[in-house]
Structure 1
Amino acid sequence: MDSNKFGKLQQQFLCCYPVNKMAWSTLELPLELEAQRALIAATCGHPLNQRYPVRRSYQEAFVKRLMHLLKDHEELHDDIYDSLCGQLAKATIDASTTTAASQYAYKHYMLLPDKYITLRESTSFVSEGTTGLCTWEAALVLADYLLAHPSLLQGKNVLELGAGAGLLGILLKQPALQLPVGQVLITDGSAACVQLMRENIALNFDSDPSDAATPQCAQLRWHEISQFPWSQYAAPDLLLAADVIYDDTQFSALLEALDAIYELRGNRCEMLLASTVRNVDTVHEFMQQLEQHRYQVTPCANVSACASHFCRDHTAAVQIVCIKR
């Protein structure tokens, strides 16, 4: 059977796209037993999922939804039942053991056919005192924007603030993409996030973590910006940040950090900031504070849904702005 027949569902499954929004309409019902087997092999049975499994509850929801779609079929392939029973058995184990390992799972973001970024992420939105242990929508939107405008990266040393699980930095250094970027330094104020970024870099690169071919990572607390060892890294030309302005109590520290970095570079740098618009007033307040700090803010056009490299919810309003001084 054509391995690409279930390509869209496979891509969505591996990155844990919401089950109720998946491309179920691409299935040509009724599904013969061999097609059922092939679908399970392309999703739950995918080699990446076998080695680095996505969230157990997600796999269970996926199989249950599939069984509901096939409820009028006379026969279901044994692999479907085996997948569901396997997840239910793991659920029983998870319920009896609360370990750090069970609080994490994997997601796989497809860049090219058979080329994925694999990230270990928290199964909870808030964990270990931070929201940064999983990838948020704005990071995917900013990733799409950079892939659509690679000239923005030409010879640039990149610094990411609030990098979380590390998707953007890992993306920029992917050999298969051959993006024209210089050094990539991904930072976060949370020690747990920095440790997770290190693990994710190791998952995606075979070379030494200190090699220039991989992203570098470091802890950077915005309110301690003056203590950061800038001499150990290349001077940044392009700053990136995604979903970092949802909390207005952090505005002062973030602006302090931006002022210090722009001053360090003699204002010869710029920033791309992507924000999911959860509260219009919060976003507007930060934009006003940027202007008060003498920054010029220019809106950027988002990449269209049809050109997106990622499975993401395009109904979510995400704003990208370019910040210069």
Structure 2
Amino acid sequence: MAPEESAGSWSLLQSFERRFLAARALRSFPWQSLEEKLRESSDSALLLLDILQKTVKHPVCVRHPPAAKYTRCFLSELIKKHEAVHAEPLDELYESLAEVLTAEESAQCHRSYLLPSGDAVTLSESTAIVSHGTTGLVTWDAALHLAEWAIENPAVFAHRTVLELGSGAGLTGLVVCKTCRPRAYVFSDCHSRVLQQLRGNLLLNGLSPDPDATAGSERPLVSVAPLDWDIATVPQLSAFQPDVVIAADVLYCPEVTLSLIGVLQRLSACRRDHNPDVYVAFTVRNPETCQLFKAELGRAAIRWEAVPPHHRKLFPYEEQSETAMLKLTLPASPAC
């Protein structure tokens, strides 16, 4: 195989691997490139077997599989591409499909994200965007954006206490805990079902909210805290004593935006020595909501600056979505 052909095949395999492990929409896969490769390749069966090993047969997926329906649809599409080049039937594809045809559907599925170290962050998530009255049971693009930025900027978190507002499924926090060496990390949310899922995802990734489980280890001290922004008090927030505060995809409506401003104001009154660094990542869905956020920051005397985009895209998410991140400077306040 020529070097350029080998590089092209490796890139294609990596794209399929990362998208399948994260259970991204099938339309986002490079199907056309695959079909072209299959037509050009002298051994199309080998390429398809490699894709099978990088996706359905991947060790991470074997342990923590995506939704059964998703796997069935993926394998059906892979078989269509194979049949389109008029190749001999590939038994392994049909055998894999047969294995999931009888699998039971579940309201939960797994999504996995590969880190530069080769380790993976795996999340148990709802198969529905809205479930149990909340959108916090799935991972949103801004969480992936913030996680990528954290990997490029580990010094922001190293040996510091991090408070995450609206942790959702926990992707960003798990990436920070696995790659940035924080001293302590507080996952927080207000919905009981989200908090339950968060605790499960911590255990799924080898982290425990039990202080005794991390005593004497290099792992950060992690905790899961119920935190309702509208009723959180200064003493409650002060107990966290964060050095860094982060939030991802929490600017989805004016009411929540105003609640976020309120909790940031109370956080500015909590630090005994200095205010924490604050980073908020968001997908620009409604420009008016973003303008509201910036206007309210001004009214609260919270300075902001845009964080330059990071260079390396590690995780698969929608290319067309506009994702941004702000660094906030909370106003100085008397110590609690």
| 1:86-117 Cα shifts (integer Å, max 9, x gaps) | 33323xx43xxxxxxx1110011000354100
**Aligned residue pairs: how many?**
309
Q: Please, which moves more after superposition, 150-159 or 191-200?
A: 150-159
1:313 has 2:318 as partner: yes
User: Per-residue deviation at 1:35?
Assistant: 3.6
| Partners of 2:174 and 2:316 in 1: CA distance | 18
| Partners of 2:96 and 2:226 in 1: CA distance | 40
SS in 2 for 1:173: helix
Aligned to 2:62: 50
Using structure 2 for the length normalisation, give the TM-score: 0.85
Aligned to 2:333: none
1:83 has 2:89 as partner: no
Aligned to 1:261: 267
Aligned to 1:251: 257
User: Per-residue deviation at 1:131?
Assistant: 0.3
User: Per-residue deviation at 1:152?
Assistant: 1.8
| Unmatched 5+ stretches in structure 1 | 95-101
Does the Cα contact within 8 Å between 1:108 and 1:118 map onto a contact in 2? yes
Q: Aligned pair in 2 of structure 1 residues 206, 198: CA closer, same or farther (>3 Å)? A: closer
| Partners of 1:111 and 1:229 in 2: CA distance | 34
| Partners of 2:29 and 2:169 in 1: CA distance | 24
Does the Cα contact within 8 Å between 1:162 and 1:242 map onto a contact in 2? yes
User: Per-residue deviation at 1:123?
Assistant: 0.6
Aligned to 1:21: 28
Does the Cα contact within 8 Å between 2:237 and 2:267 map onto a contact in 1? no
Q: Aligned pair in 2 of structure 1 residues 198, 37: CA closer, same or farther (>3 Å)? A: same
Aligned to 2:3: none
| Partners of 2:95 and 2:117 in 1: CA distance | 28
Aligned to 2:247: 241
User: Per-residue deviation at 1:208?
Assistant: 6.6
Alignment map for 1:112-123 (pairs within 5 Å): 112=116, 114-123=118-127
Letter in 2 for 1:120: S
The partner residue of 1:70 within 64, 82, 94 is 82
The partner residue of 1:134 within 130, 138, 157 is 138
Question: Which contiguous aligned blocks of 4+ residues in structure 1 show a shift greater than 6 angstroms?
Answer: none
| 1:20-77 Cα shifts (integer Å, max 9, x gaps) | 2223426731454344333222211122212211122221221122122112333121
Q: Please, which moves more after superposition, 57-66 or 235-244?
A: 57-66
Letter in 1 for 2:38: L
| Partners of 2:157 and 2:207 in 1: CA distance | 23
Aligned to 1:9: 16
| Partners of 2:210 and 2:316 in 1: CA distance | 28
Does the Cα contact within 8 Å between 1:141 and 1:318 map onto a contact in 2? yes
Q: Aligned pair in 2 of structure 1 residues 42, 154: CA closer, same or farther (>3 Å)? A: closer
Does the Cα contact within 8 Å between 2:302 and 2:328 map onto a contact in 1? yes
Does the Cα contact within 8 Å between 2:165 and 2:245 map onto a contact in 1? yes
Aligned to 1:125: 129
The partner residue of 1:60 within 58, 69, 72 is 72
| Partners of 2:262 and 2:48 in 1: CA distance | 56
1:217 has 2:221 as partner: no
| Partners of 2:294 and 2:234 in 1: CA distance | 26
User: Per-residue deviation at 1:206?
Assistant: 5.7
SS in 1 for 2:120: strand
Does the Cα contact within 8 Å between 2:166 and 2:250 map onto a contact in 1? yes
Does the Cα contact within 8 Å between 2:234 and 2:266 map onto a contact in 1? no
| Unmatched 5+ stretches in structure 2 | 1-5, 331-336
User: Per-residue deviation at 1:155?
Assistant: 3.2
Does the Cα contact within 8 Å between 1:201 and 1:209 map onto a contact in 2? no
| Partners of 1:298 and 1:159 in 2: CA distance | 20
Does the Cα contact within 8 Å between 1:161 and 1:187 map onto a contact in 2? yes
Using structure 1 for the length normalisation, give the TM-score: 0.87
Q: Please, which moves more after superposition, 214-223 or 27-36?
A: 27-36
Aligned to 1:166: 170
| Partners of 2:202 and 2:208 in 1: CA distance | 10
| Partners of 1:287 and 1:207 in 2: CA distance | 36
Q: Percent same amino acid among aligned pairs?
A: 27
Does the Cα contact within 8 Å between 2:238 and 2:270 map onto a contact in 1? no
SS in 1 for 2:257: helix
Q: Please, which moves more after superposition, 40-49 or 278-287?
A: 40-49
Q: Aligned pair in 2 of structure 1 residues 221, 228: CA closer, same or farther (>3 Å)? A: farther
| Partners of 1:76 and 1:20 in 2: CA distance | 24
| Partners of 2:246 and 2:209 in 1: CA distance | 24
User: Per-residue deviation at 1:180?
Assistant: 4.2
Cα RMSD of the aligned pairs, angstroms, is 2.3
Does the Cα contact within 8 Å between 2:21 and 2:55 map onto a contact in 1? yes
